Structure 1
């Protein structure tokens, strides 16, 4: 890892009847991983990006996916290669 990496986790809440379509649309976004989901439309999403503004843009994109009710940032960490131990 040569440059810092931002890692964020979100709780995304979608309309349950549109969950499959929402997941399909989310999988199209780069740097996004789906980790958990419930039949009630709640999903845990992890984002990875080089720049913090990419995380913010991705959250906005997620919020604008049809069927998404809310996307809430739960955790954000910056992994700095200068702090890595080799």
Structure 2
């Protein structure tokens, strides 16, 4: 790995009646995977980014999607390039 890689986990809460549309829109985004979901309109999303700003931009992008009520950052990990670890 030549550059740092940020891994973030989010929980996206959507209106249940628009949940399928929200998931379809999320699947269109690069470097993002959908994982566990509930019928109440919650889905766990994992994304990869090059920096923290890109994570924040993606959260804003998701929050602006029709049917999304909230996006919460649950986990963030920075994977350092090889040779940068002590």
TM-score computed with the length of structure 2 as normaliser: 0.93
Deviation track 1:10-37 (CA, whole Å, cap 9, x = no partner) reads: 1110001111100010111111110111
Number of paired residues?
84
Gaps of at least 5 residues in structure 2 are none
Paired position in structure 2 for 1:32: 32
Paired position in structure 1 for 2:16: 16
Q: Secondary structure at the match of 1:2?
A: coil
Paired position in structure 1 for 2:85: 83
Q: Distance in 1 between matches of 2:29 and 2:55?
A: 11
Q: Distance in 2 between matches of 1:8 and 1:83?
A: 20
Q: Distance in 2 between matches of 1:10 and 1:48?
A: 11
Q: Distance in 1 between matches of 2:27 and 2:54?
A: 16
Q: Secondary structure at the match of 2:29?
A: coil
CA RMSD of aligned residues (A): 1.1
Q: Distance in 1 between matches of 2:30 and 2:54?
A: 10
Q: Which runs of 4+ in 1 moved over 4 A?
A: none
Gaps of at least 5 residues in structure 1 are none
